[in-house]
Homo-oligomer: A and B are copies of this chain.
Amino acid sequence: MASLLQRIPMPKLVDELLQGSRRALARVLSLVENEVPEGHEILAALFPHTGKAWVIGVTGAPGTGKSSLVNALAKVYRQRGKKVGIIAVDPTSPFSGGAILGDRIRMTDLQGDSGVFIRSMATRGSLGGLSRTSRDAVRVMDAAGFEIIILETVGAGQSEVDVVRAADTTLVIEAPGLGDDVQAIKAGILEIADILVVNKSDKAGADQTVRGLRAMLELGHPAAREQFVAHHGRMMTVQAPSQVVGDVWLPPVLKVAATQHEGIEALADKIEEHRAHLAKSGTGESLEARYLEMEILERLQTAILERLRNTIPPTKLEETIRKIQSRELNPQSAVNVLLEEFS
């Protein structure tokens, strides 16, 4: 590490960040987000200081009130004396500047607090880029001493599932009255939930949403399915708000009303319960290992592609594509030929 850092005046920025400078943190986050080489060097220097934060992923369809919930949860953790970092990769989030002015004003009560740092990440650019930079941003905030990091994404696709891989505890937010179309989407993200939160519980239909989610959990969640079949020999209804069967955490369904600050303390408690469960069962460590393996393989892939792009002459690539367009060559054979010649 030292050899890398001697070349450039990075140590100052790194030191300032480690000592809690918000200005240094903001600058490092920009370097990381833009994926410049200095960002990579700083990340390498910061990495030994990471691994202390608890990362809470918050995802859900638009209209579920994710941002109000993030706001309320951040306040609870502040009251508990924790420094809170917020990373918003949701284009509809007021944190990321995507929502209407009224929402943004509601959020300003967090912004005067030096124990809170809010950062929005652009959703432009490639998907891989976004999950990579949000993961790196988490590490930067972690090194900067933020004990709770909330990573907010809009839950409607594979991209969000990828982003949430950086989280230790993932909350999937639902709300009553969003309609069947939106409900149908959530089957996919249900599997990534550690805790299911029904927000806007003061609205009509909240109990119905809770029941619907419990039914979906029973049918849909792989842990629920496997564990219940294993233990009971058949499917049954998930009755209790939270259950741990063996080493498996079955996602509880919690009702909250974020704008009224109702149920948020209980939600924070449940997150801590999940954290304790992961530590006790060792699941957290093996999950981290699995995500790290995915990260390493992705990074390898990117590095190799970069090399290939520098090795294969552009004219060769153009010629290959022309041959595919004229149907002389098919894509798979073309790849085999390029691999033979250049690796």
Contacts and interface: CB of A to CB of B under 8 A. Distances in A.
Contacts of A219: none
A305 interface: yes
Chain A contact surface mostly: helix
Given A92-B184, A300-B338, A332 B44 contact: yes
Interface in A284-325: 285, 288-289, 292-293, 295-297, 299-301, 303-305, 308-309, 317-318, 320-322, 324-325
Interface in A96-113: 98-100
Interface in A12-45: 40, 43-44
Given A40-B332, A63-B179, A91-B184, 14 more contacts: A47-B330, A91-B188, A123-B188, A124-B188, A127-B159, A130-B158, A157-B157, A157-B158, A157-B160, A158-B159, A296-B335, A299-B331, A301-B301, A303-B335
18 contacts: A44-B333, A51-B327, A63-B181, A63-B182, A91-B187, A91-B188, A98-B184, A123-B188, A127-B127, A130-B158, A157-B157, A158-B158, A296-B320, A296-B334, A297-B305, A300-B308, A303-B339, A304-B304
Interface of A: 40, 43-44, 47-48, 50-51, 62-63, 91-92, 98-100, 123-124, 126-127, 130, 154, 156-160, 162, 179-182, 184-185, 187-188, 285, 288-289, 292-293, 295-297, 299-301, 303-305, 308-309, 317-318, 320-322, 324-325, 327, 330-336, 338-339, 343
